[in-house]
Structure 1
């Protein structure tokens, strides 16, 4: 058990012994959940794996901050689909991590149920429930056409970092290694970083964010084929930012969401009430769309002042925060966006082309998940899938018999551990 009481000591799957002098080698570019999951799977199959991460930390767009004295997820926060069909559920259950369910099976109003909301207009007046009900009905009809897992949405009470930490245990992860060039060679792949260091391996799994690939920060030699480069171009990137604020006292109602509506992007958004889920006096303002991009042009103080001014219209007794954090995922050179999204009029097979390998290069990340793009479990699943495809190909090329399948989490734990879910 670690100091937080989470199970980590027995997390690693037993390493598979292989009778070969030169185990297959793989470089994983990107230390987010997709890359770390891929590295974990390959390492458990006795592959030689090196993870190259451009940041000074692992996790990527999964980033839990502890400066408030409590875990605050400044990137991904939810498990979307609190059910055993979710690929991350066995791991989260095994680690004993708690979830706070923020909606029922059908999610409305910014992914939250109507029973726990307070919605205000730009002048601070509460919107009638009848109006919100009409919005909710429309949103439900939209959801019926989407592939949404059952079980609603679970907020990670302890943050997402324990998941990343558990997956990364024992892996060879090199931080502050920004990749600038990937060269396919006849006998493998060469990866060069910004400081001139070169790494060589049999194959490479690329799990950097879509925004980084679209910006052509990484040079490919030879160039990627047109079907791959067009897939990268034809996927969109969205931006969502968070302004987390810690207060000395709770002055807001005991609801999950304080929402705002108005005629401009600045007047639309919502405050997530973490006090209801975690007991900490924290509100997190969720900025999306054009306003999310505008936040990135403001200083931390300016961004906080702007959202607090809205908060004071809604709740006249609102106080100034004692601490605050502001994310800038769109301008962060390590992400250049928050999540992938479909673009209107683009081919239906774009996601399949994006995730398809190019010789000994494999692609993973939330953008590579056709059914669950933009989600943590989509990123996790794509990493596992890329690792499995890479594993099978390299074993075949090296003439190594594929005798053992990597065990699933529930097989390792002996049984599926129940998810710890609360609503109070």
Structure 2
């Protein structure tokens, strides 16, 4: 057991924590970054050992690429991230293969977003609805939809249940959509390159791995004591808490005094998305080689289960290593995390759907690797999400207000980049600036 005093303790070494640490270090503050895992990055995890080429076992894309400061930084600094768009011919598939283009289901679905906006505008008395409810209204009130479109477009319109990690009846219709702000960009060279660049100003001696925080105590002398599982204690003027929303919801860290009601409500009023990712490598390519990614809107084990399939073979596989990664949600990923060996059998309907030759069986994979975001005690979920009836701007504002010298950062604490890595980066910069400005007033 040991005791140490620093200016700022940062709980978590994900993108939010490392950005705050970098800015504070450059400003001359002494810091201690406490990370429960035996590695850096948090929900950013570029695995360069499990596959033939790298697996991104955390975030995969630069989202909102027209307003993404991390992508801009990577381009400005000529980092070897090898950015590529992966939106060439995304196809939508069900259990029978590609959807029938003659039914114009995509065109019918394109009306939905504007319909939902107009519906809430013309019904101000309706604070929110579930995604299922607004889909039912859309298909019943859109009089120009064909019977075939009404029957089948619902599957396409439930695709947002995937990032929300919930069934359509539990997804907010009003608040689940995020501004597009540009197409997604893959960092083919590895997301860890941008993380390591951000980390450069932070000294290795300031980072403490395998150091899980158990309690944060605000002392009467305006300092904070941070206690860890291994018995070490850190005293500081400020603490920045960057653990994910799922960890906060689980009360894995005890606060004394208890967090004020607005912050407790903020934790309660954001949801947690349960989703995950599974990598498969094969001996041969059995899917359309030139399609960047596929969206599956069929059933798995008798239940609707959307999935996104990325053609890893085209990008990280360098057209040498046949492979895919599949993003799935909710009950499915829970089964896979509990028993990773069942991943191929569970996801076989998804893989069968995208076969070029529907008569040829899908071969067994040569490698399989899945994430464990939901069972990992340092994440307890993938990302934050809006709850039905709650505008996430409210809880986010409370996190940004913080609790005096106990501050909060992470993708769940900021509106510009909410749920995304660049949002986490911005929140870390925000909290570092708060502390730097606050100290300048003394």
Same fold by TM (over 0.5)?
A: yes
Find the counterpart in structure 2 of residue 27 from structure 1. 9
Q: CA RMSD in A?
A: 2.3
The equivalences for 1:98-137 within 5 A come to 98-103=82-87, 116-122=89-95, 124-129=96-101, 130-137=104-111
Q: Distance in 1 between matches of 2:287 and 2:114?
A: 28
Q: Does 1:343 align with 2:315?
A: no
Aligned to 1:390: 435
The CA deviation at 1:309 is 4.5
Question: Does structure 2 retain, via aligned residues, the 8 Å contact 1:147–1:371?
Answer: no
Q: Alpha-carbon deviations, 1:118-168, whole Å to 9, x = none? A: 33222x332112223323443577799955253311011022111122222
Residue equivalent to 1:181? 215
Task: Determine if the alignment matches structure 1 residue 377 to structure 2 residue 377.
Answer: no
Deviations 1:279-305 (A, max 9, x none): 2422001102443334333x1111222
Aligned counterpart, 2:159:
none
Distance 1:265 1:61 in 2: 28
Q: TM-score by structure 1 length?
A: 0.80
C-alpha separation between the residues in 1 aligned to 2:437 and 2:415? 22
Decide whether the 8 Å contact of 2:80 with 2:193 is kept in 1: no
Q: Do the aligned residues in 1 keep the contact of 2:81 with 2:191 (CA within 8 Å)?
A: no
Per the alignment, do residues 267 and 365 of structure 1 end up closer, same or farther by CA in structure 2, a change over 3 Å counting? closer
Distance 2:115 2:422 in 1: 24
CA contact (8 A) 1:187 1:202 kept: yes
- Structure 1 residue 165 corresponds to structure 2 residue 206: no
Q: Which runs of 5+ in 2 are unaligned?
A: 119-173
Change (3 A) 1:266 1:307: farther
Could you tell me how far 1:236 is from its partner in structure 2?
Answer: 0.8
Give me the TM-score of the superposition, normalised by structure 2.
Answer: 0.77
Partner SS state of residue 26, structure 1:
strand
Distance in 2 of aligned mates of 1:328 and 1:47: 35
Q: CA deviation at 1:101?
A: 0.8
Classify 1:141/1:174 alpha carbon distance in 2 versus 1 (closer, same or farther; 3 Å).
farther
Match of 1:255 among 284, 287, 291: 291
In structure 2, the residue corresponding to 1:182 is in which secondary structure? strand
Offset, 1:235: 0.9
Give the aligned partner of residue 220 of structure 1.
Answer: 255
The structure-2 alpha-carbon separation of the partners of 1:47 and 1:292, relative to structure 1 and needing over 3 Å to count, comes to: same
The partner residue of 1:283 within 321, 324, 330 is: 324
1:233-382 to structure 2, matched below 5 A, reads 233-253=268-288, 254-263=290-299, 265=303, 267-278=305-316, 279=318, 280-297=321-338, 299-315=339-355, 316-346=360-390, 348-382=393-427
Establish whether residue 50 from structure 1 lines up as the match of residue 47 from structure 2. Answer: no
Distance in 2 between residues matched to 1:168 and 1:259, nearest whole Å = 35
Q: Distance in 2 between matches of 1:33 and 1:154?
A: 18
Q: Are the equivalent residues in 2 in contact too, given 1:28–1:52 (CA < 8 A)?
A: yes
1:198-221: per-residue Cα shift (whole Å, max 9, x none)? 011111111011110110010111
SS class of match (2:43): coil
